[in-house]
Structure 1
């Protein structure tokens, strides 16, 4: 009885904020455009395939020809994804028709291959050309620079020299944008899937007005059930909302997420109708479940983690939490 009252009060407290966020969502129904660009072989298409959980196709990838466009749904919002092939003849074509390729960009993701040092000057030159087109078109997209192929073995081999190299590139990028654009820098590698998931989750959540409310809701629920780490993801493993008690909890759940999503998919296929499961690993207990919302056909996932001995996960508490999530989403 007490839990029901707490849930009702929790939902009521969030009511006014939710109404305001929904109004913002109704206003922002214009399709968003995310532009992937950079030199050829920088890893743009590989990252897109990873986010689509199409890992088996990566070994067979060929250089992207011209511009590949796709539309995907992120929590009911239409996202236009443009993957611009980076071969020189294509880059020249893009710059000749900037309105066709660069206009209406909400987010520009510029890929730099940190292992291809001889082509860094060429990459920075093309980046400057892209920024020039944005200025000409009078648009100010968010700029994300991904220092890709920051692979563990390569980092270990190059050590401090790689850090200095990346710092130098950052300074050159800042000179090019000249404080006229918001720029973020991230180091990514396909050997650490979370490095890719986290940055793309951050990008998409910038385009989603309910993100702040989601994180607040997840944080309060985590405190209520003593969960050290809580994540809500979509079917492409992109984070919709999250809360971590500390960096250790974050690292544990980040490393476990791909495993649990695969396990959840397998369980659903083998035992239709069963979506939730509890797994014990080391000193922690994990709860995995999936649920659906009207805005998207694919399921969403919830992953929770708590230390053993702090009480078991209760199905009824999670169901109440999912109901609140659905009202926000």
Structure 2
């Protein structure tokens, strides 16, 4: 009898747990967004956020809902992708990384770890799984690039490599390879603890920059007429929390969405004038500054700097 009672209690608790899990709702996109942003959004909500982080997250969603409703699809995609990649890659950009340890055998070891994670259903977030797969794709491209073969030859000969192409390659390697190294040599909870603040940082930066874009004068007539609320979102909606699925590798996904109208002709007011006369005859505002008659141009203008090819 006691055993039967214990079984009844167990199944009752199990049903309650399933019911609680099924009733949990998360915020999702109701319109097309980059894959990495969708995974980021869901992974943040699956984390056990502090009360302060929950309030911040809700504020970011409200701000994004207002901004995304005004920005173009190209602007949204570019902003989301750029800030997510920057948040990931800048972590190790100044690291002292020994590139000699990163080779095709290292890549094979990383792929084996991914297969183990998938086989054992390790509890990594959707965003972490996407991130690992994307970084592995980048690492494979770097390790099969001509610069890597040159690097191996120069290392064997004890010669420094100073060509611009190699410097760019090595900077990319130093941003990508340490992440893969961390994934191979850390337990899953450690990897997640490092990725988690990056998720929040990327989401916050996207919200801030989207809001800054709206400050441009071209949006003065398109500014959101109605303030968003968590119960009145237009770009996002609420959905039931589902079991996680394996994210797809998006290495071949274009940076900007196809057929999004980015090739539309600009307004006539933005069309460049062909001649100096056409420029001076155009209507300028009354307070437009006039040239300084005493201005003397400098003898030599500063040279632009491409920091990709600056040696460390």
TM-score (norm 2): 0.21
- State the structure with bigger RCO (CA 8 A, min sep 6), 1 or 2: 2
Determine which structure has more spread, i.e. the larger CA radius of gyration.
2
Higher helix share: 2
Higher strand share: 1
TM-score (norm 1): 0.20
